[in-house]
Chain A
Amino acid sequence: MSIVAVQGVSKDYMLGKTVVPALRDVTLEIGRGEFLSIAGPSGSGKTTLLNLIGCVDTPTTGVVQVDGKDTSRLSERQLTDLRLRTIGFIFQSFNLVQVLSVFQNVEFPLLLQGGLSRRDREARVMGLLEAVGIASHARHRPSELSGGQRQRVAVARALVTAPSLVLADEPTANLDSATGENIIDLMKEMNARDGTTFVFSTHDPKVMAHASAVIRIADGRIVAREAGRGAAAEAAR
């Protein structure tokens, strides 16, 4: 069963008194374990689509199903809970909590979830920090890290709850291309290791190249779904 099913979804925003359609009748299915890229110019609706999938926004019309649940039928609390337990987020500008250390940032979703002992939490967090290669900076504050390091922390935070789906909105946009590529490699590695579904938006062709599939979007409509080189590489393997 697919992890995400989007059917006939439109999303309108009000800009003053004019209605601005951000998405028009979008239908999309994302399978488990995919490493999917949503590509398109700015203002094309990439972020809106990600928001809908990420349960931080609800569609004007149509149905968004995440992990088999119709998001428009869930309460605010249930949506929050769904985000906490099923989805991990990676943001363009990293969005780490400035006042918490690297370790505490990554630990945060676990604390919200509760249920794990301190030792289990520590093992999980340190394991991930090692996996993203930032364990030595566990006690640092985000402001003491470089952009790439911060995004590594963000990746670890997104993965710490072992979500089924990780959404990344332009994860490399604030990084230089080499670092960006490292992050994509890291995400891909995680995708390969745990089979976590990754959906990320980008307009960088080099990044797209790593995806197993690319959804092209323009003017709120999906214009193409093409298999990426990453997919080809995978298929070849």
Chain B
Amino acid sequence: MTGRRDALLVLLRISFRNLAASKVRTSIIGAIVLGGAFLVVLGLSLLDSIDKGMRTSIQGSLGGQLQVYDARSEDALELYGGLRGESLLEPIEDFAKVKQVLSAVPNVETVVPMGIDQAMVATGNVFDVALERLRADVRRVEGGDRSPEALRGYEARKAHVRRMVGLLRDELGQARSIADLEGRDAEDRRREWADLTRAADDAFWAGFDRDRYGNLEFLENRIAKLSMDGGFTFIRYVGTDVDAFFRAFQLAQVAEGEMIPRGRRGILVGKQYAEEWLKLRNARRLDQIKEARDRRGRRIADDEELQRWVRENRAGLKDILLQLDPIQAEEATARLRRALGPAAAAEALPALLARLFDADDATFDARYRIFYDQLAPLLRLYVINVGDTITIKAPAKSGYFNSVNVKVYGFIQFRQIEKSGIAGMMSVMDLQSFRDLYGYMTRERAAEIDAIKRSVGATDLAREDAEAALFGGGGALEGESRAARIDEGRLLADRRADRPAEDLSTRTYSQEEIDRGVALNAALILRDPSRLRETMRDVQAASDRAGLHLKVIDWQQASGLVGQFVTLLRVILYSAVVIFFAIALVIINNAMVMATLQRVKEIGTLRAIGAQRRFVLAMMLVEIASVGLAFGLAGAGLGGLGVWAVRAAGGIPATSDLLNFLFSGPALMPTLGGGSVAVSIVVVVVVSVLSGFYPALLAMRVTPVEAMATED
């Protein structure tokens, strides 16, 4: 045994001395190995951190650990929307049963019902808002309030509406000059134009006070509809058991306003959605410029996009001008003159606004503050505000549109990923409203329809009996039709007597009512998330036993494209690593073959004086493996240092929505994983040994005869 040890010692000695002797070769191979280990450690650490961030984002915002949906669905569930819009899911008809069955699985803590869909939400327009204000004033004046303050307000509103009508007429006048006035709608167009001309006429306004309500109605019914702005926008929402939702998803928080009271109908509008779609365009653009400058270090002076935003803000003053009635406009003018300094002292409001928005890098921050401190309090910044009741419309399963009125209790955001549109676009609505929109029969609707059927005497007919039932048994004419006036009032009075109309918005639903009914999918929160695979099987088994036809998928699959992004990153990293090491393999192999060829004589000598083949083989492999190990460790250390440096520098900033979501925060703070270090060492040593294997075989094959060669 001492023989073995002695041989091993001398083997190591020769190996190391050889490495030390050929410093250039060793350092080239070492640098490659070092680079490889560095790449693997840093890459894997970043990837693992992104993976962890994404896990936090998905699990904490909508995903939970598992998701279930009907296995007979046409599409796969995609929580954050797919490329082709919302997935078509077969509804889970009785969520209560699903909840009962799945809650019985030991590791399942919560089952949260969900229904994700898109709907249209009416945003109203500035015209409507102005007319509403005017109507309130008219009511005051007609009610006998003749105080100077009331009259002043009334006159100001009137002037405001009048100016808006004027603007609208200018706008439509331009459209008229390019429109086809001979077509089918020509008559309508002409009537609209006549209405508008009348409303813009001095005579109309001079005589306004003679029939205040009548003229107001004319404006509301004939003019307001001509205003094209506003209308509706799309909203993406999840209908859910709101209480359970907030308990399950830790990242969810009410950003503004309040939580929907337990069991009530209502909606929490996605904060980021509100920013992007509901906010006054000028304010939104200011926010975007600020964000770009503060967080991404971009500058107006050398950024094409920021310059465009500034230009658009300067030109797009209409939204603001329309919102301000003369009193507010006066106030705004005064404030802006004060804030913008002596150069602006004599300017009118449009010029002042243009001056406000025409910012460069030096003035932007000050202008931003002026906008928010001085101007914003006079403006309606969002078309939907906390406390509003909004009308949401969606095509129901039955084919026609359903709509519901829901109160906006507040704005919702997801902590750490507030800026991400992926989760931030999502609004959260109560489950009952979702069911109404979705068009699935809720119990109360079923009861209501039943009651209506009974009161009008409708009966169900089988198709085959329909003819006989409807048209009689073929006897003589059974009765004569006679025209009768439909007494709507009486019919409705009857209905009211049957069941007092209920204000749905104040009704509180019990947990049982919330659970019983339709959901499209459900999120499962696990007690021990690390036992995900096992629980997934248990849930599937429980569902199958109960005959629920559920498909169980994990959070990553449920997140659709988003979840695949990390898989994509992983594939890219692994490919890069594989390519890197394939090249490394070739280079190291070459270097070692060269080294072997240079040492043929020495190896031959060793063989001649009694070294066995395996001694030579081992010597060569030890040589390359020790380079791999030493430089691999150094590279891994460097990788660790890299991770530390990235952290010290404040992490990798999330410069896009997707990154914000994947990083689960404004910046990625990578953590060094023990796993990635171990993997990198194993990989580089294996690659080194592999690349050293062929040259080692060559060396092993060197015959002792080579020692005798006398070419030198």
Q: Which of A63-92 contact B (CB under 8 A)?
A: 76-77, 80-81, 83-85, 88-89, 91-92
Contact status A92-B710, CB under 8 Å: yes
Some 30 contacts from A to B, beta carbons below 8 A apart, are: A47-B710, A50-B708, A51-B705, A51-B708, A56-B607, A57-B703, A76-B613, A80-B612, A80-B613, A81-B610, A83-B608, A83-B609, A89-B605, A89-B609, A95-B602, A95-B605, A99-B20, A104-B10, A107-B10, A108-B10, A109-B610, A111-B7, A111-B9, A111-B10, A112-B7, A112-B609, A112-B610, A113-B610, A158-B609, A169-B710
Contact status B710-A170, CB under 8 Å: yes
Question: For A95, what are the chain B residues with a Cβ–Cβ distance below 8 Å?
Answer: 601-602, 605, 707
Question: For A88, what are the chain B residues with a Cβ–Cβ distance below 8 Å?
Answer: 609
Chain A, Cβ-Cβ closest to B711: A93
Question: For A173, what are the chain B residues with a Cβ–Cβ distance below 8 Å?
Answer: 710
The reply on B704 being an interface residue by CB < 8 A is: yes
Contact status A57-B612, CB under 8 Å: no
- Select one of B14, B601, B608 contacting A56, CB under 8 A: B608
User: How far is the CB of B706 from the nearest CB of chain A, in Å?
Assistant: 9
Task: A93 to B709: give the CA distance in the assembly, Å.
Answer: 9
- Report which A residues bind B (CB closer than 8 A): 47, 50-51, 54, 56-57, 76-77, 80-81, 83-85, 88-89, 91-93, 95, 97-100, 104, 107-115, 117, 157-158, 161, 169-170, 173
- Select one of B13, B18, B704, B707 contacting A104, CB under 8 A: B13
Contact flag A56-B609 (CB < 8 Å), given A113-B3, A114-B2, A114-B4:
no
Contact status A91-B605, CB under 8 Å: yes
Question: For B20, what are the chain A residues with a Cβ–Cβ distance below 8 Å?
Answer: 99
User: How far is the CB of A151 from the nearest CB of chain B, in Å?
Assistant: 14
The reply on B606 being an interface residue by CB < 8 A is: yes
The reply on B21 being an interface residue by CB < 8 A is: yes
The reply on B615 being an interface residue by CB < 8 A is: yes
- Select one of A47, A98, A104, A108 contacting B609, CB under 8 A: A108
Contact status B609-A109, CB under 8 Å: yes
User: How far is the CB of A43 from the nearest CB of chain B, in Å?
Assistant: 12
Contact status B707-A112, CB under 8 Å: no
The reply on B397 being an interface residue by CB < 8 A is: no
Contact flag A89-B707 (CB < 8 Å), given A95-B605, A99-B21:
yes
User: How far is the CB of A115 from the nearest CB of chain B, in Å?
Assistant: 6
Task: A109 to B605: give the CA distance in the assembly, Å.
Answer: 11
Question: For A158, what are the chain B residues with a Cβ–Cβ distance below 8 Å?
Answer: 609
Question: For B609, what are the chain A residues with a Cβ–Cβ distance below 8 Å?
Answer: 83-84, 88-89, 108-109, 112, 157-158
Chain A, Cβ-Cβ closest to B706: A56
Contact flag A98-B610 (CB < 8 Å), given A47-B708, A89-B707, A111-B9:
no
Task: A104 to B13: give the CA distance in the assembly, Å.
Answer: 10
CB < 8 Å A-B pair total? 101
- Select one of B13, B601, B703, B705 contacting A100, CB under 8 A: B13
The reply on B503 being an interface residue by CB < 8 A is: no
Apart from A57-B703, A80-B612, 11 more pairs, CB < 8 Å: A81-B610, A84-B611, A91-B707, A91-B708, A92-B708, A97-B602, A99-B14, A104-B10, A104-B13, A112-B6, A169-B708
Question: For B615, what are the chain A residues with a Cβ–Cβ distance below 8 Å?
Answer: 112
Contact status A85-B601, CB under 8 Å: no
Interface size class of chain B, counting residues whose CB lies under 8 Å from the partner chain = 20 to 34
Task: A52 to B610: give the CA distance in the assembly, Å.
Answer: 15
Task: A91 to B2: give the CA distance in the assembly, Å.
Answer: 29
Question: For A91, what are the chain B residues with a Cβ–Cβ distance below 8 Å?
Answer: 605, 707-708
Contact status B708-A77, CB under 8 Å: no
The reply on B534 being an interface residue by CB < 8 A is: no
Task: A95 to B20: give the CA distance in the assembly, Å.
Answer: 20
Q: Sorted from nearest, which 6 A-B pairs have the closest CB atoms?
A: A114-B3, A84-B610, A99-B17, A56-B704, A95-B605, A111-B6
The reply on B712 being an interface residue by CB < 8 A is: yes
Contact status B17-A100, CB under 8 Å: yes
Question: For B6, what are the chain A residues with a Cβ–Cβ distance below 8 Å?
Answer: 110-112, 114
Task: A100 to B15: give the CA distance in the assembly, Å.
Answer: 11
Contact status A97-B612, CB under 8 Å: no
Question: For A54, what are the chain B residues with a Cβ–Cβ distance below 8 Å?
Answer: 608, 704
Question: For B607, what are the chain A residues with a Cβ–Cβ distance below 8 Å?
Answer: 56, 80
User: How far is the CB of B704 from the nearest CB of chain A, in Å?
Assistant: 4
Mark each residue of chain B from 684 to 712: 1 if its CB lies under 8 Å from any CB of chain A, else 0.
00000000000000000001110110101
User: How far is the CB of A93 from the nearest CB of chain B, in Å?
Assistant: 6
User: How far is the CB of B7 from the nearest CB of chain A, in Å?
Assistant: 6
Contact status B610-A57, CB under 8 Å: no
Question: For B7, what are the chain A residues with a Cβ–Cβ distance below 8 Å?
Answer: 111-112, 114
Task: A95 to B524: give the CA distance in the assembly, Å.
Answer: 75
Task: A181 to B607: give the CA distance in the assembly, Å.
Answer: 28
Q: Which of B1-41 contact A (CB under 8 A)?
A: 2-7, 9-10, 13-14, 17-18, 20-21
Contact status A99-B18, CB under 8 Å: yes
Question: For A110, what are the chain B residues with a Cβ–Cβ distance below 8 Å?
Answer: 6
Question: For A81, what are the chain B residues with a Cβ–Cβ distance below 8 Å?
Answer: 610, 612
Task: A162 to B172: give the CA distance in the assembly, Å.
Answer: 116
Chain A, Cβ-Cβ closest to B607: A80
Most buried by A among B4, B10, B21, B607: B10
Task: A77 to B2: give the CA distance in the assembly, Å.
Answer: 19
Task: A52 to B606: give the CA distance in the assembly, Å.
Answer: 17
Contact status A93-B712, CB under 8 Å: yes
User: How far is the CB of A108 from the nearest CB of chain B, in Å?
Assistant: 6
Question: For A117, what are the chain B residues with a Cβ–Cβ distance below 8 Å?
Answer: 2
Task: A95 to B707: give the CA distance in the assembly, Å.
Answer: 7
User: How far is the CB of A199 from the nearest CB of chain B, in Å?
Assistant: 14
Most buried by A among B20, B601, B605, B611: B605
- Select one of A56, A104, A109 contacting B705, CB under 8 A: A56
Mark each residue of chain B from 325 to 356: 1 if its CB lies under 8 Å from any CB of chain A, else 0.
00000000000000000000000000000000
Task: A170 to B712: give the CA distance in the assembly, Å.
Answer: 13
User: How far is the CB of A58 from the nearest CB of chain B, in Å?
Assistant: 11
Chain B, Cβ-Cβ closest to A117: B2
Task: A81 to B606: give the CA distance in the assembly, Å.
Answer: 12
Question: For A50, what are the chain B residues with a Cβ–Cβ distance below 8 Å?
Answer: 708
User: How far is the CB of B294 from the nearest CB of chain A, in Å?
Assistant: 61
- Select one of A85, A97, A104 contacting B606, CB under 8 A: A97
Contact flag A85-B705 (CB < 8 Å), given A93-B712, A100-B13:
no
Contact status B605-A97, CB under 8 Å: yes
Task: A50 to B707: give the CA distance in the assembly, Å.
Answer: 12
User: How far is the CB of A123 from the nearest CB of chain B, in Å?
Assistant: 16
Task: A81 to B704: give the CA distance in the assembly, Å.
Answer: 13
Most buried by A among B6, B606, B609, B705: B609
User: How far is the CB of A210 from the nearest CB of chain B, in Å?
Assistant: 21
Contact status A97-B14, CB under 8 Å: yes
Contact status B708-A98, CB under 8 Å: no
Task: A178 to B373: give the CA distance in the assembly, Å.
Answer: 105
Task: A177 to B179: give the CA distance in the assembly, Å.
Answer: 116
Chain A, Cβ-Cβ closest to B613: A76
Most buried by B among A91, A100, A107: A91
Task: A169 to B6: give the CA distance in the assembly, Å.
Answer: 29
Task: A171 to B174: give the CA distance in the assembly, Å.
Answer: 110
Q: Which of B573-628 contact A (CB under 8 A)?
A: 601-602, 605-613, 615
Task: A113 to B5: give the CA distance in the assembly, Å.
Answer: 11
Most buried by B among A54, A97, A104: A97
Task: A227 to B317: give the CA distance in the assembly, Å.
Answer: 121
Question: For B612, what are the chain A residues with a Cβ–Cβ distance below 8 Å?
Answer: 77, 80-81
Mark each residue of chain B from 531 to 543: 1 if its CB lies under 8 Å from any CB of chain A, else 0.
0000000000000
Question: For A56, what are the chain B residues with a Cβ–Cβ distance below 8 Å?
Answer: 607-608, 703-705, 707-708
User: How far is the CB of B10 from the nearest CB of chain A, in Å?
Assistant: 4
Chain A, Cβ-Cβ closest to B603: A97
Chain B, Cβ-Cβ closest to A55: B704
Mark each residue of chain B from 307 to 339: 1 if its CB lies under 8 Å from any CB of chain A, else 0.
000000000000000000000000000000000
Contact status B610-A115, CB under 8 Å: no
User: How far is the CB of B603 from the nearest CB of chain A, in Å?
Assistant: 10
Question: For A77, what are the chain B residues with a Cβ–Cβ distance below 8 Å?
Answer: 612-613
Question: For A108, what are the chain B residues with a Cβ–Cβ distance below 8 Å?
Answer: 10, 609
